[in-house]
Amino acid sequence: MEIVIQKFGGTSVKDVAARKQALVHVKYAVDHGKKVVVLVSAFREPGASYTTDGLLNLVHNNQSRLSKRELDMLVSVGKIVSATVFTEQACEAGLDATALTGSEAGIVTDDEFQNAKILNVDPTPIKKMFKKTNVVVVAGFQGATKDGEITTIGRGGSDVSAAVLGMALNAELVDIFTDVSGIMTADPQLVKRARCLKSISYDELANLAHNGARVIHPRAVEVAKQANLSMRIRATYQQPEELGTIVGERNPHIFHYRTVTGITNQNNLTQFSVSTENLTSGQIFQLMAAQNLSIDFINISTDSVVFNLPQMDTWLAEKTLATAHANYRMVSDCAKVAIVGAGITGTPGITARIVNTLAKHHIDILQSTDSYTTIWVLIHKTDLTAALNSLHDEFLQSHQFTLTQQ
């Protein structure tokens, strides 16, 4: 039995027309002899009460008196509505389909409500369904504890559900359908010359996802890598024969490998520079941890600690540091740019090219760091568009973009 997983995001199932286009891909797979597991997110129809945001608005959203367990009960409804409506339309289109909740599909999680981790997936329920049907539609984003309490897996949970089901069912392929034609070299809304990549490695995609690319959840990529799953990122509006971006291990037959794969960004950050005159580095980190503040982009020197926080956490960090009589400076409205590529490792001069390119456009670098496959720079948010376009022109507008295979 050849099984494929197809995950459709909220925009891919938002209305009848969108679901009709999604079903083109489902029918194509069935017509080619596949059994199909379809993962669906909640609808994203503006103003509808059954979207995730619409359901939360019914209970005053952030001001709700409900526990996290009860909120999971509520928001899971949106995915169940989406799964059953998709199944109805699939049956109308002549497909033999049935719907399951995340729990019914065998997804078992821990009890960290609203951000649960998947502990185990029992493939038996879906395999049993496949004895009498070709398509199983599963409500994404959700599962249940071993005691049967409904949980949600957090934002991006449908991607993770698709990957773990692919692993449990030994799927031939996992297709992640979005509203873009694949993984782009940069955000096409900010970089007009951004282009779609034909292929990308697990590590490169995980780095892009961790650093702001919102096409897929990074945990889903990590699961796919562990299971060595074949994965594609595609647009629902594409024809079934179009491949999108193929995700997998680095191809050993590629004789010219690009240095930089893509450039991504995270916005609305605040940079803190905290003197170690009154507090040690360890004490500064303990203060942040005690407030559940997850700091990022950390640089430590002999006289200061520099780190970043999301802008929404700035007030709490300020209050915490002031109470501890820390001497600190901060820079608001920052953006972090990540230059990602497997070819960065062992290639001299990449940092020099980044620095020179930004200097040529009079863009200040507030902070920088690097790893084997990624170089990060922190800049003022007002410089973001210019920085992305200039770096994209420097690294991704030449022959480096195209992969030539033997």
Render pLDDT for 291-317 as a digit per residue (tens, 0 to 9). 999 999 999 999 999 999 999 999 999
According to the model, what pLDDT value does residue 403 have? 41
Rg over alpha carbons for the chain, rounded to the nearest Å, is 23
- Which two structure tokens, joined as six digits, stand for 137? 């539609």
Q: Are 77 and 50 in contact (CB under 8 A)?
A: yes
- Gap between the Cα atoms of 353 and 64, Å rounded: 50
pLDDT at 253 over 60: no
What would the mean pLDDT of 107-136 be, rounded to a whole number?
94
Chain centroid to CA 142: 16
- Which two structure tokens, joined as six digits, stand for 15? 């209305």
Closest CA to 236 of 25, 16, 46: 25
- Gap between the Cα atoms of 289 and 374, Å rounded: 26
**What are the two backbone dihedrals, phi and then psi, of residue 77, each rounded to the nearest 5 degrees?**
-60, -40
- Which two structure tokens, joined as six digits, stand for 318? 């300020």
Between 44-48, 53-57, 332-336, 345-349, the lowest mean confidence (pLDDT) is in 44-48
Neighbouring residues of 371: CB distance < 8 A, sequence distance ≥ 6: none
Three-state DSSP string of 39-100 = EECCCCCCCCCCCHHHHHHCCCHHHCCCCHHHHHHHHHHHHHHHHHHHHHHHHHCCCCEEEE
CA angle 83, 88, 94 (to 5 degrees): 125
Q: How confident is the model at residue 250 (pLDDT cuts 50, 70, 90)?
A: low
For residue range 131-170, what is the model confidence (pLDDT) as tens digits? 999 999 999 889 999 999 999 987 678 888 899 999 999 9
For residue 318, count other CB atoms closer than 10 A to its CB.
Answer: 16
pLDDT at 288 over 60: yes
Which CATH number applies to 262-405?
A: 3.30.2130.10
Which is more confident, 63 or 87? Answer: 87
Alpha-carbon torsion angle 121, 122, 123, 129, nearest 10? -120
Delimiting residues of CATH 3.30.2130.10 domain(s) in the chain: 262-405
Q: Are 390 and 358 in contact (CB under 8 A)?
A: yes
Neighbouring residues of 241: CB distance < 8 A, sequence distance ≥ 6: none
Q: How confident is the model at residue 47 (pLDDT cuts 50, 70, 90)?
A: low
pLDDT at 375 over 60: yes
According to the model, what pLDDT value does residue 240 have? 92
- Name the helix (H) or strand (E) containing 144: strand 142-144
Q: How confident is the model at residue 255 (pLDDT cuts 50, 70, 90)?
A: very low
According to the model, what pLDDT value does residue 251 have? 53
- Name the helix (H) or strand (E) containing 299: strand 296-300
According to the model, what pLDDT value does residue 307 have? 97
The β-bridge relationship of strands 118-121 and 173-178 is: unpaired
According to the model, what pLDDT value does residue 402 have? 42
Q: Are 107 and 117 in contact (CB under 8 A)?
A: no
Q: Is 298 left (phi over 0), alpha (psi -120 to 50) or beta?
A: beta
pLDDT at 345 over 90: no
For residue range 25-43, what is the model confidence (pLDDT) as tens digits? 999 999 999 999 999 988 8
According to the model, what pLDDT value does residue 10 have? 84
Q: What fold does the segment set 3-179 form as a domain?
A: Carbamate kinase (3.40.1160)
Beta bridge partners of 338: 264, 376
pLDDT at 203 over 80: yes
Closest CA to 37 of 116, 118, 149, 121: 121
Neighbouring residues of 103: CB distance < 8 A, sequence distance ≥ 6: 142, 143, 144, 148, 150
Delimiting residues of CATH 3.40.1160.10 domain(s) in the chain: 3-179
- Gap between the Cα atoms of 191 and 385, Å rounded: 7
